[in-house]
Amino acid sequence: MEEIKRIGRELVAKGAIIDYYRDTMQIPNGNVAKWDLIDHKGAAAVVAVREDGKLIMVKQYRNALERETIEIPAGGLNGRDEPTLEAAVRELREETGYIAENIEFLTSIYTTVAFCNEKIDIYLATGLKKREGQDLDEDEYVDVYAYDLDELVSMIYENKIQDSKTICGIMLYAYKTGK
């Protein structure tokens, strides 16, 4: 494949979570193209499994979809340099009130490779201990539920769970456990 080269980048808008850029690209056939880029600082997510085998899930309103979704606990990094393991531990505690004795890396995903560089590292948390309540940001409202793995896999196949990080995390865990 011939080289594609960026010859310019313009910041179109700076947001709280993302920055939007317009890139000018030189493509191999000699043409110049304008491509959009959404720059994201990254995120971490957690497949949290209780001793009874149930997975801890969160339900929250998502503005982009204009509805509530069921997801694994997750959140953005506080800065590009924050280790994703620290973010995963923090988000599990803040969103669900659980802390984990064991946490291991499962995978990294890029959510929308055509125009966004958001990378989410997904972890598996076990040895969960419930502490007192959630510690949500002032703009968060999150309900916490526990589901059997089989029930969550069915919800994915029934199109009731559509969030990519959640699907990836649950299906990797199902594969890992042989279910």
Residues annotated as catalytic (active site), given as ranges: 138
Name the 3-class secondary structure at 73.
Answer: coil
DSSP 16-69: SSEEEEEEEEE-TTS-EEEEEEEEE--EEEEEEE-TTSPEEEEEEEETTTTEEE
H/E element holding 88?
A: helix 84-96
Dist CA 99 CA 173 (whole Å): 19
Residue type, 65: L
Compute the distance between CA of residue 77 and CA of residue 23 in angstroms, rounded to an integer: 25
- The Cβ of residue 44 has, within 10 Å, a number of other Cβ atoms equal to 27
Mark 114-140 as b/e (b = at least 16 C-beta within 10 Å): eebebbbbbbbbeebeeeeebeeeeee
How far, in Å, CA of 156 to CA of 165, rounded?
12
